[in-house]
Structure 1
Amino acid sequence: MSAVLSMYEISVPVFLRALRNLRHALEKGEAHARAQGYESTVLLQSRLYPDMLPLVRQVQIATDTAKFGAARLAGVESPRFEDVETTFDELYARLEAVAAYLGTFDDAALAGSETRAVTLSARARGDLNFDGRGYLLGFVLPNLFFHAATAHAILRHNGVPLGKLDYLGPAD
Structure 2
Amino acid sequence: MALSATLHTFTVHLADVDRGVYQELELRVARHPSETAEFMLTRLLAYCLEYEEGITFSDGGVSSTDEPAVLVRDLTGRMTAWIEVGAPDAERVHRGSKLAGRVAVYTHRDPAKVLAQLTGKRVHRAGEIPVYSFDRAFIDAAVTAVERRNTVTLSVTERLLYLDLNGTILSTPVEEHRLA
Q: What's the TM-score once normalised by structure 1's chain length? A: 0.23
Which structure: greater strand fraction? 2
Larger Rg: 1 or 2? 1
Which structure: greater helix fraction? 1
